[in-house]
Structure 1
Amino acid sequence: MSDTSGILDGHRARKRFGQNFLTDEAVIARIVSAIAPKADDRLVEIGPGLGALTCQLIQPLTHLTVVELDRDIIPKLLARCSKQKTAHDQSSQSKLTVLEQDALTLNLEPLACEGPLRIAGNLPYNIATPLIFHLLEQSKHIIDMTFMLQKEVVDRLAAHPGNRDYGRLSLMVQAVAEVESLFVVPPTAFNPPPKVDSAIVRLVPRTHPLVPDDLKALFGELVSLAFAHRRKTLQNNLKHRLPTSTIVLAGIDPGTRAEQVSLDEFITLARLVKEQASDSPNPGK
């Protein structure tokens, strides 16, 4: 196990990068156990920071790629890895590739040229949701993703109908990936401690997304409209987009709220709206 004592080494977390450094050895070990890296995994870590997680992830790996935006932290990360030795007495630094860039612009295709990737990281809370969507757009290159996120976000990602956390984020992500909430991480595991609990989540992209490409835009539109006003019924939220009869035809009670409508039901509704639009006469012809 790598030593996390003195990991900050005088480095001050930068608020603009959303930095909260993980320092609890027991939590780090539990995260590594959840990821379970194997020698031939093509693993990409996002936001390695000062390397508390990196130095343990890299131990069994042949190679590890990390993505870090803070250029001032990279030399400290490399220095820390240079002190770590693997089981084969090889410097961790020699197995490490650092990409100095914004993860929101990360193109996975070049990294996946030899096979699909596993992705992990302690994601900055200020970019977590858009980053997950950015990565899921490239899901054909991904085996799985294990992230530490704000617990509130993990709860929303994993929520099911009838749960107060269930909403647009739940539906849009679960349509393309299986979501598993693993465990909670308290603020005391970080320096500086965040003001909220964190949680570990695993996302496994679906081989066949539940929403086909030709239905994605419409599905997204209907979900957004349905949750625009959570206290209103589905009928009221969608009344300017489609007639109540379409909701009934989809087998959904128009008087229910969106948080009660399942992913399958939203897909059925979107497919029905598309079919009705195709069957409608075109006044321009």
Structure 2
Amino acid sequence: FLTDPNVLRRIVAAARPSKTDTVLEIGPGRGDLTRHLAQAAGRVFAVELDRRLIPSLQSDLGELPNVHLVRGDALTFPFHRLPPGTAAVANLPYNVATPILMRLVEERARFSRLVLMFQKEVADRIAASPGTKSYGSLTLAVRYAMDAEILFKIAPGAFSPPPKVDSAVVQLIPLRSPRVAARNESFLFAVIRAAFGQRRKTLRNALRSIAGAEALSAAENACRIDLARRGETLSLEEFARLTDFLFERTGRKG
């Protein structure tokens, strides 16, 4: 649990809530950050999956009229019920960071900004450059839809108990329109996931689950992308070009 009051204040400052704003907090834990958010925001929806934490949260946060505690899973929470312009704040555990972030990317129209805390390794993946070890499907999905910035690192001592790794806070601002045009967003993400499913495979082998050999050869020629390359060497723009061709060629619907 994050307990350092200085770090808690920095996270709230990054979220920039006002008394007219709604904040979604994913994983309030013991409620330390929730209390800080409640002082600054109009409403806070705190979504907690761990039923063991609910009684203490209800007791500790019960006197805060603008905090709405919800027992539920962020992977299934109805984000569409939140008002437009909601800010999202979360400390995401390593094992669920990627699926929750991907859901937030898909539901980005609801949010004005996201201020998320990850293990430093995940933060590095979000901000990675092509050709690096950290570059992957998460990098590309975020880049497609959002501006991402690592705001600051957090040392283990800010937590109780202290973890064995550093953490980092990342700010994500949804773009008004995607960074590249893609005919079908879900198909683009499917191609990207396939390309990184087994990083050592060439694109020609990795994308066999997406398209047949003939379509891949045609895409290679039309898009001028060597399919002997690996996914980690392609830019977002190259993935979009390749995906659009395959979508038209195969008639896939994502």
Q: TM-score, normalised by structure 1?
A: 0.77
Q: Which position in structure 1 is the counterpart of 2:200?
A: 231
Q: Shift in Å at residue 251 of structure 1?
A: 3.1
Deviations 1:253-275 (A, max 9, x none): 44433212100111011112234
- Asked if 1:104 corresponds to 2:75, the answer is yes
Residue 60 (structure 2) pairs with residue 80 (structure 1): yes
Q: Is the Cα contact below 8 Å between 2:180 and 2:240 reproduced in 1?
A: yes
Q: Which residue of 2 aligns with 1:151?
A: 120
Corresponding residue number in structure 2 for 1:132: 101
Q: How much has 1:230 moved relative to structure 2?
A: 2.4
1:53 corresponds, among 33, 39, 51, to 33
**Residue of structure 1 equivalent to 2:244:** 271
Determine which structure has the larger helix proportion and give its number. Answer: 2
Structure 1 residue 165: Cα displacement: 0.5
Judging changes above 3 Å, is the alpha-carbon distance between structure 1 residues 57 and 237 closer, same or farther for their aligned structure 2 residues?
same
Q: Aligned to 2:237, what secondary structure does the other structure show? A: helix
> What is the CA–CA distance in structure 2 between the aligned matches of 1:225 and 1:72, rounded to whole Å?
37
The residue number in structure 1 matching 2:143 is 174
AA of the residue aligned to 1:258: G
Identity among equivalent pairs (%): 40
The whole-number CA distance in structure 2 between the counterparts of 1:217 and 1:40 is 34
Q: Would you say 1:70 and 2:47 are equivalent positions?
A: no
Distance 1:65 1:168 in 2: 29
Q: What CA RMSD, in Å, does the superposition of the two structures yield over aligned residues?
A: 2.4
The 2-side partners of 1:135 and 1:176 are apart by 10
- Matched residue SS, 1:201: strand
Distance 2:200 2:94 in 1: 27
Shift of 1:229: 3.5
Pair 1:28 & 2:8 matched: yes
Structure 2: distance between partners of 1:128 and 1:277: 32
Per-residue CA distance 1:139-176 (angstroms, 9 max, x = gap): 22121211111211111122121221111121123222
Helix, strand or coil at the partner of 1:118: strand
* Unmatched 5+ stretches in structure 2: none
Between Structure 1 and Structure 2, how many residues are aligned? 247
What whole-Å deviation, never above 9, does each CA across 1:96-127 have from its counterpart, x for those lacking one? Answer: 11112122220022232xx3311102123322
Counterpart of 1:257 in structure 2 is 230
Q: 2:206 matched to 1:215?
A: no
Name the SS of the counterpart of 2:197 in structure 1.
coil
